[in-house]
Amino acid sequence: MTAFKETRECNLPQRLLDRFRADPYARRMGFALLEAAPGYARVAVDVTPDLFNFAGTPHGGLLFSLADYALAVASNSHNRIAVATSVSIQFLAAASLGERLIAEARENHVTRRAGFYDMTVTTASGQLIARCLGVVHRTERPLIEEAPAAR
């Protein structure tokens, strides 16, 4: 696994960032949280041979999982537990061994009970690999007891 360095300051409370970075599945997959702000997340992974499928391309589940992690961070960044109810993905290109994939999730509409997010997966050089649309159910329960920074 590669050690990632944050590219920008994260605009969320440290306890919330620590919670996101401690996600067991994301850690197992080698995902790194690069940037986070209310309604936004940027995450990365390096494409290694163990992430390929039998056809010789990075597994679609990897791309989906990376985008889903970005969605989880962006949608929970308001310190309200949010769970995905629907995510669609379109695979547009295949990444190559050794490339760094970056997933970004951006909130485009939020209500008291729902949130709508656009996600992209690109290579570090900017090639679009996949695009996604995610919908989450927003609960009233806080993720941590400390409130996130004001918008």
Q: Where are the domains of the chain?
A: 14-138
| DSSP label at residue 23 | -
Instruction: Note the pLDDT of residue 22.
Output: 96
Could you give the angle at which helices 60-76 and 14-21 cross, rounded to 10 degrees? 160
Tokens of 43: 């995450």
Per CATH, is 14-138 categorized as 3.10.129.10? yes
Tens of pLDDT along the chain (151 residues) come to 344 444 455 789 999 999 999 999 999 999 999 999 999 999 999 999 999 999 999 999 999 999 999 999 999 999 999 999 999 999 999 999 999 999 999 999 999 999 999 999 999 999 999 999 999 999 999 999 854 455 5
For 142-147, which contacts have Cβ atoms below 8 Å and span 24 or more sequence positions? 142/79, 142/80, 142/81, 143/16, 143/19, 143/76, 143/79, 143/80, 143/81, 144/13, 144/15, 144/16, 144/19, 144/79, 146/13, 146/15, 146/16, 146/79, 147/13, 147/79
Tokens of 105: 């999730």
Integer Cα distance of 5 and 7 in angstroms: 6
